[in-house]
């Protein structure tokens, strides 16, 4: 069993991983687990996909199985655990939850953090990211998913009686965002 989990979500290209890596890479003692990486590693090993960005196109059963295995890894982790994941995944106009209730119930979730950015910035970041095969979604589609994500997190904050932090990751302000992220982790976990 672990000492507690903080779930960190954000839209693809919101800067979530940059915020986490920059903040935690500076001497904080948290274990970071990225659900998408665990799922991609398992899917690649089983030859279900050719790259991580194809996970969203797997069947619902395959996604559920991979996600359950990834969250099982989280449930076995010890210490203060930061989970990097998505609240939802868009799949051809259909939104699939990234945080199924049964998985949230079995984790000792202490807090939720949403790394936010405006839809225009997200669209721009996606278009310039050559390392990933990201979807070309309109600002309106991005805003719709943002609403779904925040609604999902608000539900869990109420359901689990925990805090939800929404941290803006503005263009050119990554260090400020990392500082706010570290403060949120300290508020959730206490001095660690």
Q: What is the pLDDT of residue 61?
A: 92
Q: Where are the domains of the chain?
A: 4-33+79-189
Q: Does domain 4-33+79-189 have CATH number 3.40.50.300?
A: yes
Q: Which residue has the tokens 């997200």?
A: 122
Element (H, E) at 164: strand 163-168
SS (H, E, C) 131-142: CCCCCCCCHHHH
Judge whether 141 and 188 are in contact, CB under 8 Å: no
CA distances to 15, 77, 110, 125 from 157, in Å: 22, 22, 10, 29
Say if residue 139's pLDDT is above 90.
Answer: no
Tokens at 59, concatenated? 């069947």
pLDDT tens digits, residue range 18-51?
999 999 875 668 999 999 999 999 999 999 999 8
Considering the entire predicted model, what is its pTM?
0.92
Task: Specify the range with the lowest mean pLDDT, choosing from 30-39, 125-134, 176-185.
Answer: 125-134
Say if residue 131's pLDDT is above 70.
Answer: no
Judge whether 119 and 146 are in contact, CB under 8 Å: yes
Q: What is the pLDDT of residue 28?
A: 60
């Amino acid at each position: 069993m672990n000492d507690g989990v903080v779930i960190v979500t954000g839209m693809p290209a919101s800067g979530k991983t940059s915020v986490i890596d920059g903040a935690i890479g500076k001497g904080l003692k948290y274990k970071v687990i990225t659900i998408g990486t665990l799922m991609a590693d398992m899917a690649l090993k089983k030859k279900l996909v050719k790259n991580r960005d194809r996970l969203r196109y797997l069947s619902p059963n395959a996604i559920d199985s991979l996600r359950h295995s990834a969250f099982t890894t989280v449930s076995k982790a010890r210490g203060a655990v930061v989970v990097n994941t998505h609240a939802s995944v868009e799949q051809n106009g259909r939104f699939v939850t990234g945080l199924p209730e049964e998985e949230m119930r079995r984790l000792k979730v202490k807090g939720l953090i949403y790394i936010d950015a405006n839809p225009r910035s997200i669209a721009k970041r996606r278009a310039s990211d050559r390392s990933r095969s990201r979807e070309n979604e309109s600002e309106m589609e991005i805003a719709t998913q943002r609403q779904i994500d925040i609604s999902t997190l608000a539900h869990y904050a109420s359901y689990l009686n925990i805090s939800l932090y929404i941290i803006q990751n503005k263009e050119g302000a990554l260090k400020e965002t990392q500082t706010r992220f570290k403060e949120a982790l300290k508020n959730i976990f206490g001095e660690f």
